[in-house]
Amino acid sequence: MPTHSMTAAAAAGASLLIIYLAIRRRRRLSSSFLPTQSFGAKHEGLLRDARLDKLLVITDFDATLTTGDSTQCHDLVGFSDLLAAQFREGFAPLLDWQTNPLTDGAHALMVKYGQPPRSLIPRMVRQSSMVPRPGALKLLHRLALLNVPVLIVSAGLSDVIEEFLRQHDALTENITVCSNRLNYGADLAPQSVAPDPPITSFTKASAYRAAGSFFKHHAARRSLLVLGDSITDIDAATEVPYDHLISATAKYAESYDALVLGDHGSPA
């Protein structure tokens, strides 16, 4: 395993992570890796100057660490037959992403009806159609072994994300989740949601402030790898100081340095 004092080995480790992200198993999984015009120079700069102890990963969750056709966090809550029918009836219209801002109204309903109770989240996640993107768990495992900090910035729900990772043995000490967190009362029913205002697909640039302690603790890590599936996922790195940044996504060549084509594309 590379050590922080061995620059050459650390650079090799960083290279390995990029290879994990871009190349391995892509043909067998019917996905394609497509570097954009910005990738070559950024990749070369990263491998030339970066060290493993300077690497930090920022990633989205829904449709990034999970497959593109997986159940997403709020859908999991809205469609679960484990929850009260009256709650689901009010929640269902909010799942129309074309006509509703979702998050504010959804969180208000969760607090109003006390749904979902904390005790049900493990079963909801276990019974859902939320599937890891091929290679995602191996990537997270590798990052944990190398002690690379990972910040998951999501417009979903921290409670669901952390339970999903826990059930896949991937909730390791190097991972921090920056998402909407349910605050439970003594009866395990949601009493409030933090932060306020919530993290949405359009406010991910607030991650630098919302996860201020994380970035302060890892201020020396200035080589960023950013993963996402949406045009706004790259915003999570907007205010983060960096020397090197490589971003990869499932679409949007104009905003990212590399694309992984296909809903089941492998990041590993």
> What pLDDT is attached to residue 3?
45
For residue 147, which of 72, 24, 212, 52 has the smallest C-alpha distance? 52
pLDDT value for 197: 87
Question: Rounded to whole angstroms, how far apart are CA atoms 98 and 179?
Answer: 21
Instruction: State residue 111's pLDDT score.
Output: 95
Instruction: Give the long-range contacts of residues 195-203, CB within 8 A, separation 24 or more.
Output: 197/104, 198/103, 198/104, 198/107, 198/155, 199/103, 199/153, 199/154, 199/155, 200/101, 200/102, 200/103, 200/155, 201/155, 201/230, 201/232, 202/232
CA atoms of 223 and 73, how far apart (whole Å): 29
> What is the rounded radius of gyration, in angstroms, for the C-alpha atoms of the chain?
19
pLDDT of residue 106: 87
Q: Mean pLDDT in each 10-residue stretch from start to end of the chain (268 residues)?
A: 43 42 41 68 71 93 94 92 93 70 78 96 96 94 97 96 98 97 95 91 92 96 91 91 78 64 56
Pairing mode, strands 258-261 and 32-35: antiparallel
Dmax over CA atoms of the chain, in Å, equals 59
Say which residues have a Cβ less than 8 Å from residue 15's Cβ, sequence separation at least 6: 47
Fold classification of 7-69+131-180+194-261 (topology level): Rossmann fold (3.40.50)
Q: What is the pLDDT of residue 10?
A: 43
The CA distance from 118 to 124, in Å, is: 10
**Cα distance between residue 102 and residue 82, in whole Å:** 21
Give the DSSP H or E segment for 232: none
Given this model, what pLDDT does residue 240 score? Answer: 94
Give the dihedral of Cα atoms 5, 141, 133, 95; nearest 10 deg: -100
What ranges do the domains of the chain cover? 7-69+131-180+194-261, 73-126
The sign of the torsion formed by the CA atoms of 78, 82, 83, 84 equals positive
